[in-house]
Amino acid sequence: AGPSMPTESRNELLITIAQESKRMEQLIGKLLEMTRLESGSAAFAKEPFDITEVIISAVDRWRNNEQHREFRLDIPESPPPVNGDPVLIEQVLSNLIENALEHAPAQSPVEIHVMARGESVLIRVMDRGPGLPRHDTQRIFEKFYRGARSPHRAGLGLGLAICRAILQLHHGTITARNRDGGGAEFQITIPTTASI
């Protein structure tokens, strides 16, 4: 038999293997989700729902993992109900929050603002990271595109493409821009039940 590995090294190796397995599982999941969305076979429940509950659920999921981070929410007391699939919209918000957390300095907050706009609800997810290179603001929603602000990230470049595909199913929109004073802002719109 060959030389034995010290217990500490073996444990570190097992942790690394487990982390990489989880990462691969997430990447495969994103590829499958994108395929389902593009083929029109994604499960899609269209119903009125309270956007506040969905935002709070998405934030709470990240708040549990990122306890040192501050989340600032600006949500009106009774925003109009939106029409669509709350699970898919929560996935969009979770992807945008994850994006903000990855790019913003650890001490800066992630901000989420909500407002009614005509027959839609506008949600803005903002960070104080490095912002977006001007030529990236449209391309970041393309499949497999990894922008200049994340060339060494370990993802496939599907998160924002999935967000766009989900919002298109909802007849909503997603755009990105740089904030005054630094950082990125993603704006999504979702039709309200009044627009049915």
Confidence label for 41 from pLDDT (cuts 50, 70 and 90): low
pLDDT at 155 over 70: no
Confidence label for 150 from pLDDT (cuts 50, 70 and 90): low
What structural domains and CATH numbers belong to the chain?
46-195 (3.30.565.10)
Residue range 97-134, pLDDT digits in tens: 998 998 888 889 999 999 999 999 999 999 998 888 77
- Per mean pLDDT, which range of 45-54, 67-76, 87-96, 130-139 is the poorest? 130-139
The pTM for the full model equals: 0.76
Confidence label for 152 from pLDDT (cuts 50, 70 and 90): very low
Residue range 159-169, pLDDT digits in tens: 788 888 889 88
- CA 86 to chain CA mean position, Å: 14
Query: What integer best gives the mean pLDDT of the chain?
Result: 81
pLDDT for 165 equals 85
pLDDT at 26 over 90: no
